[in-house]
Chain A
Amino acid sequence: MTDSSPNNTVQPVLPGLRRYLTGFVLALVLTVIPFALVATGSLPQTQTLLVIAAAAVVQILVHLRFFLHLGISTTPRETLLAIAFACVLIFIMIGGSLWIMFDLHQRMFT
């Protein structure tokens, strides 16, 4: 891991700089698109929500790749496994909670 390399070793900075700037511009674009859609109301509500969701998912991937430097081959396997496990947990907990609560809501009020 480059982060834990001993001090006094000067590493090339330009590729890293290009990386952070790419990530920043991508994240900025993926932020401006949903905000602009909501501000102008140029799409129907359902489509706007879909664009918001898609932009959020892509932006999270951009952050993981360009800011947190995640890579299939560069990140240690234990870290990747832990991330995959957390994703499964989060999916089950968010999906499960919403499924149960909205199903319950429907049964109580219809």
Chain B
Amino acid sequence: MTAQDRVHSAAEGAANADVYEERTLGFWLYMLSDAVIFALLFATYVVMAGNIADAPSPQSQFSLSHAFGETLLLLTSSLTFGLASLAQKANRPRLLQAFLLVTFLLGLGFVLMELVEFQGMIAAGASPDQSGALSSFFVLVGTHGLHVSVGLLWILVIMSQVALKGLTAPVSSRLARLGLFWHFLDIIWVGIFSVVYLPGVLE
């Protein structure tokens, strides 16, 4: 990658555009296979949601306001990431860094809220080893949380690359793929609150 970062000339820039377009397609393929994994976790949760054994049901542990707070954090972080992409297009590295930092903090808030929820559930005896319903709940929501955590790490990596290398073409193209990933995670979360939390509270 470092060799590519040194390529700056306009003539090579045009040839690189094809490479970046290919990488965008490749990243879409990764995200779609990730979406298939999540689809199976969703199906597993729906099948297992009633299998509560003698443990407290996951549904009895849900808090509507907590889920709403998490949703707002993640949705707002999607907006601030969009603003970051616009700052990159306008070639304003400092503004870009500021928006990336806000996105990072919102995402961190989301992950922390999720950890608080998990901890409260485990303290109430609703840990993943208690029933099929709880196992599938923790795997589905936890896998999403893990993805967001990796996204947070990726934001930090991109922020340091922007700081060290500036807004070069390779860094901008990585930022664009991180954007795809971040917005994709918000879509998965729409599925989680619509399939897990809202019907769970409704019962």
Contacts and interface: CB of A to CB of B under 8 A. Distances in A.
Chain B, interface SS category: helix
A98 B32 CA distance: 21
Contact of B172 (A7, A20, A21, A102): A7
Nearest to A64: B187
B21 interface: yes
Given A24-B75, A24-B78, A13 B89 contact: yes
B25 interface: yes
Contact of B184 (A35, A68, A97, A98): A68
- Interface magnitude class on chain B: 35 or more
Contact of B86 (A16, A35, A64): A16
Size bin of chain A's contact surface = 35 or more
Contact of B167 (A7, A28, A63): A7
A97 B190 contact: no
A90 B184 CA distance: 15
Interface in B82-108: 82-83, 85-86, 89-91
Q: Is the interface of A mostly helix, strand, loop or mixed?
A: helix
A13 B169 contact: no
A56 B32 contact: no
A31 B75 contact: yes
B168 A86 contact: no
A11 B20 contact: no
A34 B192 CA distance: 13
Interface stretch (B9-17, B113-121, B123-131, B135-143): B9-17
B83 A86 contact: no
